[in-house]
Amino acid sequence: MSPLLSNLMLDVLDRELERRGHRFVRYADDGNIYVRSVRAGERVMASVSRFLEKKLKLKVNRGKSAVARPGKRKFLGFSFTSGSEPKRRIAPQALERFKLRVRELTRTGRHLAPAHLVNRLKLFLTGWRGYFGFCETPSVLRKLDSWLRRRLRMVFWRQWKRGRTRFAALRRLGVGRDLAAKAGGSAHGPWRLSRSPALSFALPNAYFISLGLPTLAPGR
């Protein structure tokens, strides 16, 4: 009910901002107003805060309100790049939440078969891409794709547990004897080995595509 009630109450604010000629965006009780300078921002924030408190009898959350450049603030998980032509980007906090969720989903799936683990991720990845695929920085999505595949390689490596099992699994997946023996007997940790030549060969990008793993970057 919160977004609905906020829209009913704050429709008056929208009309006031339009009357003043401001550029703004609002969802429920969260909103940004865009002006040309810090001084203008401070003036507008003070004026709009007075309007909300006196006209609409609403309390402004001073702790979450601020005057800053668009790239320093986030709105519904998005932010902007700096420069003469700002682009819509995914806010750093949203990227961290993405990785946290993937870690949660894969941490509890260490004993699942690869296809089952990918199926567990599908719903989350498809929904996330449907929302954040709207960004204008596809390189970020490509990096997330790479990080996700590396995370899965690490999980599968942990599933194999021992050196002999790892060696046998790599050989079964077509890795040469010497390379499989080097990886299987390595003292390096799973995360470092997840980008090793042996695992990259055994579990290439095409393998994850064959399992139905959604990609995040457009056109892939």
**What is the pLDDT at residue 109?**
60
pLDDT above 90: percentage of residues in the chain: 74
Which residue has 């199926």 as its token pair? 119
∠ CA(111), CA(112), CA(114), 5° rounding? Answer: 125
Q: Has residue 179 got a pLDDT over 90?
A: yes
- For the segment 29-70, what is each residue's pLDDT rounded down to a tens digit? 889 999 989 999 999 999 999 999 999 999 888 888 999 988
CB 73 within 8 A of CB 88: no
Q: What is the mean pLDDT of the chain?
A: 91
CB 117 within 8 A of CB 202: no
Separation in Å, CA 60 to CA 42, 77, 110: 15, 21, 46
Q: Has residue 220 got a pLDDT over 60?
A: no
**What is the pLDDT at residue 107?**
87
- For the segment 117-156, what is each residue's pLDDT rounded down to a tens digit? 999 999 999 999 999 998 999 999 999 999 999 999 999 9
When mean pLDDT is compared across 17-21, 123-127, 142-146, 159-163, the lowest value belongs to 159-163
- For the segment 100-117, what is each residue's pLDDT rounded down to a tens digit? 999 999 986 667 889 999
